[in-house]
Structure 1
């Protein structure tokens, strides 16, 4: 299989649609690596792509080619921001998301996705109010709206605003039902029925509603395939947390141990950040999760 980190420079001062398609294919391949193995595995390869993408931008191109190229470069920065975030490099994440927004000014759907991902950085780092400002931006397509509403629900749950969280979840489900999922853009392809189920479970877990969280998280865990290993691990962490909250120590420990094993197969700082909650709950119940982790990556 070709190395997804390799991307040859343009052969001439003028590029065509095939050059853009190759860049898109490279971004798609690296995004798959991120989902399965974590941003720490592929972030450097994504950043290397940006150098070649800049060469493409400096070449001559027909207007339709340049229009699509700008979106491709924006999405490459979008992925660089996401993998930086997953690697614990928040400053680099913001830098790449800002660049992505600059290049995507003509592409409303991609802009919405970049805004969503930037909001997730705020949510992860304890600023749900700031995250809400991003998630409430609005979206054109039902699929993008579903993503935004699901994350809006999560932010409300972080603020213990249960009624608003449940209402936003309902809107996410309604928009998802309306969406044409036949050919989703690559950056939104992750949001399928399993991802929505995982979000439902995550929001209810955040609210302490384990009765609704546990069935949803269990279904998501059953349905996530190996290509979505990080999302699967996140669900294991949330499910273990629910069992500890319910006082089911044996089940919490069994699933928590499974989550630790899964996390060790990833290079994702976010995964270990989320693991802290279940570790603290386990300790409060008198048990210990023997979690090991990769060294903290160097911040740019």
Structure 2
């Protein structure tokens, strides 16, 4: 967090009272996170406790156990000089954690990431990576589940960094994740990380590398029922690379293979993997169609997945909506595009995603060419400008660790 974060008066008061529960509450309600506070369940997930337990911590007597104080202070990355207790040396060995704890943590972080964006979670991910990576590196034969947990956390941190606008850091995490996944010998996890590298290459405009990474992943993932979602994701990402290169026939062929792979999956994939479902494939398909100039088909694909009041996966919904606005503007349906953009701004007011903010900036550029359409467009452009100023904090550098 920026240094000014910790000088916010409610936080300073809670720290002076030596009550970490009140510190956590002030942290969650900090204006840094926008109009809505961080959900109690989200922060509880960072700590590995339940929402009810965190509620008791925030509203009950001060916590006195040094181990808990130390762990929670590290998770929140509270500056040592503001604390009333001493943090142990940072080079002290971290106790190994088992695979089940890793699964619970990854589920909590993944769920929170979809709702509030990577910028809010990256620091917590760094803290937890150390708990798995250090024991794995120091052990001559680390448990396979520990390697998989460390790989999954690195991949998740890579997505959070990318979502925060830092592709360089994201790429470093993906490469660390790939090395750990290879060491774990889990083909599905190796394939998934190749997919993440493919996405990043596509985002950076390197279509050839995007296709190559996806192909490498497909070469590793065996053709089995549990591999269906991973193979579908890799085929879809390969299609995106083909679309960026203008290879329409190859793109459509790869999308058909993605559809088939997703339909063949009959068993649940390992919980270490990120989900890839029908909505995910539709978004990837729409991306490809827009890049190929098939606006009508892209609009038809997206219209079926944009809900009125999404309650989960806010970032995916936000990205689907910005793609749909792009399609609407390409069809000169400006009034509908403006209405949907307003709803997207409302939807994302608490979402800490530089990627979504970048998509809104792209929409602003597209809307300028329709400024003479009527009063709706200038008013929306004014609102977008205010939104960019309010969310300028998303461009701040990520914490290091």
260 and 118 in structure 1: CA distance in 2 versus 1, 3 angstrom threshold:
same
Q: Comparing both chains, which one has the higher relative contact order based on Cα–Cα distances under 8 Å and sequence gaps of 6 or more?
A: 1
131 and 223 in structure 1: CA distance in 2 versus 1, 3 angstrom threshold:
farther
1:49-68 equivalence runs, <5 A: 49-57=128-136, 66-68=143-145
How many residue pairs match? The answer is: 293
Offset, 1:266: 0.8
- TM-score relative to the length of structure 2: 0.67
1:194 corresponds, among 256, 259, 279, to 279
Offset, 1:188: 4.0
Which residue number in structure 1 is paired with residue 252 of structure 2? 166
155 and 262 in structure 1: CA distance in 2 versus 1, 3 angstrom threshold:
farther
Which residue number in structure 1 is paired with residue 27 of structure 2? none
13 and 44 in structure 1: CA distance in 2 versus 1, 3 angstrom threshold:
closer
Runs of 4+ aligned residues of structure 1 deviating over 6 Å after TM superposition are 58-61
Greater mean deviation of Cα atoms: 117-126 or 226-235: 117-126
Which residue number in structure 2 is paired with residue 297 of structure 1? 396
Q: Deviations over 1:77-100 (max 9, x none)?
A: 111111111111222212211111
Q: 1:34 aligned to 2:113?
A: yes
- Indicate the structure (1 or 2) with the bigger Cα radius of gyration: 2
Which residue number in structure 1 is paired with residue 187 of structure 2? 108
Classify the secondary structure of the residue corresponding to 2:307. Answer: helix
Distance in 2 between residues matched to 1:244 and 1:98, nearest whole Å: 38
Which residue number in structure 2 is paired with residue 247 of structure 1? 332
Distance in 1 between residues matched to 2:112 and 2:306, nearest whole Å: 19
1:122 corresponds, among 190, 201, 204, to 201
Structure 2 portions without partners, runs of 5+: 1-40, 49-67, 72-92, 372-376
- TM-score relative to the length of structure 1: 0.89
Conserved in 2, the CA contact under 8 Å of 1:39 and 1:267? yes
Distance in 2 between residues matched to 1:54 and 1:136, nearest whole Å: 28
Distance in 2 between residues matched to 1:13 and 1:214, nearest whole Å: 50
Which residue number in structure 2 is paired with residue 4 of structure 1? 45
1:1-300 equivalence runs, <5 A: 1=41, 3-6=44-47, 19-57=98-136, 66-105=143-182, 106-137=185-216, 138=218, 139-140=221-222, 141-180=227-266, 182-186=267-271, 188-222=273-307, 225-286=310-371, 287-288=377-378, 289=381, 290-291=383-384, 292-293=387-388, 294=391, 295=393, 296-299=395-398
Offset, 1:280: 1.4
158 and 31 in structure 1: CA distance in 2 versus 1, 3 angstrom threshold:
same
